[in-house]
Amino acid sequence: MPIESVNPYTGRTERTFDAFSWVETERILAEAHSAFAAWRSTSFAHRSQLMRRAAELLRERAEELARLMAVEMGKPLADGRAEANKCALCCDFYADRAAEFLADEFIETEAQRSFIAYEPLGAVLAVMPWNFPFWQVVRFAAPALMAGNVGLLKHASNVPQCALALEKVFHDAGFPPATFRTLLIGSDLVEKLLADDRVVAVTLTGSEPAGAAVAATAGQHIKKTVLELGGSDAFIVLADADLPLAAKTAAQARMINAGQSCIAAKRFIIEKPVIREFIQQLKEHLQALRYGDPLAEGTDYGPLARPDLADELTEQVEDSVKQGAKVELEGGQPKAGSAQFAPVILSNVQAGQRAYTEEFFGPVALVLEAQDADDAIRLANDSRFGLGGSVWTRDVKRGEQLARRVQAGAVFVNSLVKSAPEVPFGGIKKSGYGRELSHLGIREFVNQKTIWVAQEEKKAQDKKVE
C-alpha cells in the first residue's frame, strides 16, 4: 500500500511513496544492528561534533522544513520555523550535556570501587506522530544517538517527506547512515520489528490504543518501552488570578498546533466568581485568530491534519451538546469531510458527557465550573489522563502547593504547559510512562549497570579487625 503525502489545506496529493517491504526493512535493521557495534565505541566528543552539525543544519534548513510541515500536516510557517529551531536547541543541549549525564556515578559501599555505568542498548524503534513531525522525533533521536544507540524511525504515514528530511539532516551532519534510518512502513510491520531481537526497545508518542498495542507486543518480547500518549490538560483559573493574562494565555494554550497537541490546554476549570468574564475574554481572543493557508505568512492556524480528524471532533462536540454542554462560541467544520475547523467553546461540561471524559484533539475549549480551589483540583484529577496542567493565581506560594496536588507529569504555575530540553517530559495514568528530555530522557534507553570492584583480601581483613 503506498504512503501518501496529502496537503490538508488543498486536499492535493503532493507525493506518493512505495512502502518498504519486509525484506527491505529487515535489511535496514541488519545494517543498523551492525553499525551499533562501532557507534557505541565512539567518543562523546565525536558524537557531540556531529550533533552540533545537525543543529546547524536544522537552523539552516528551517524554512525548507517549515514548508514541508505546512504542506504535509497544516502547520503555519512561523510555527514550523519555531519547531525546527527548537529541534536545533535540543541537539545542542545533548551535544553539550550527554557526557555529564552518562558519566560513571560513584557510590560509597564496602567495595574498593563501586559505581553505575550507563551503556547504550542497541537499535531503538521510534513510532512517532504527525503533529510535531520534527520535534517529536528529535527529542528521542538526539539523546539516543548521543548515548551510543542507533535509531529506526517509523513515522506517521501522512508525513513521509518530513521523515526523510530529518534522516537527511542526520546523514548530512556526518552520522553513519545506518545509525539513523527512516522506515517508510505501515503499522503492520511494527509488530514484526518488535519481535526481532535486534530491536532492543521502543518509544511511542501517539494515541492510547496505539500505545497499548505497542506496549503489549513489546511486553511479549521483553522490550523496554517509553509511552507518551494522550492528554486532557487542566487549565485551572482561581478567582484571584490575573484574568486578562490567563484568558490570553488560555487561547494560546488551546490553539497550539490548531489544538492538535497532547499538552494543549483542553479543560478550563474556572472558579465560579470569574467564569463568565473568563469565557468572554477567551472568546474574544479565539475570534481574533486568522484561519488560512499554512503557507501564508499571516495565518494564525491552519486546517487539522486530516479531514477524518475534523469529522471525529465534530461528532464529539455534537454528542456533548446533546448530553447538556452549552455552546459559547460556534465554530467547527464548514461541512463534513473538510479539514477546516474553527475554534469552539463549550461550557456546562459535566460528568457523563464525552467532553468530560475524552480528549478533544483540536480547537475546542471545554469549560468546567469549580466552586473553590479544592473543587478545581478534584475536577482536574477526575480524568483518565495525566500529562500536564497549569494553575493560575496571584498567590504563587499557593499555586505551587496546588500544583503538587494535580496528578500530572508536569504542572506550570501562571504559564502554559510546554516542553523544553532541560526538564523531563511525560505523563502518568493513561497518558503513558517514562520520560523524554533532561537527564532522565537520555537514561531511558541505557543499561544502568552496577560495577563492583572488591577490596583486596588483606585490606578487607584489616577492615574487619578494626
Active site residues: 228, 262
**Parallel, antiparallel, or unpaired for β 326-329 and 410-413?**
unpaired
Element (H or E) spanning 14, and its range?
strand 13-17
Asked if 426 contacts 228 with a C-beta cutoff of 8 angstroms, the reply is yes
Residues 6+ apart with CB under 8 A from 405: 377, 381
Query: Which amino acid type is present at position 383?
Result: S
CA quadruple 300, 305, 308, 313: dihedral, nearest 10: -40
Q: Which residue in this structure is represented by grid cell 478567582?
A: 239
User: Residue 357: in which H helix or E strand, if any?
Assistant: helix 354-357
Residues 6+ apart with CB under 8 A from 207: 229, 230
The count of other CB atoms within 10 Å of the CB of residue 273 is 11
Cβ atoms of 32 and 179 closer than 8 Å: yes
Q: CA 260, 127, 448 angle in degrees (round to 5)? A: 115
Residue with cell 548515548: 147
Angle value at C-alpha 77, between 72 and 80, nearest 5 degrees: 70
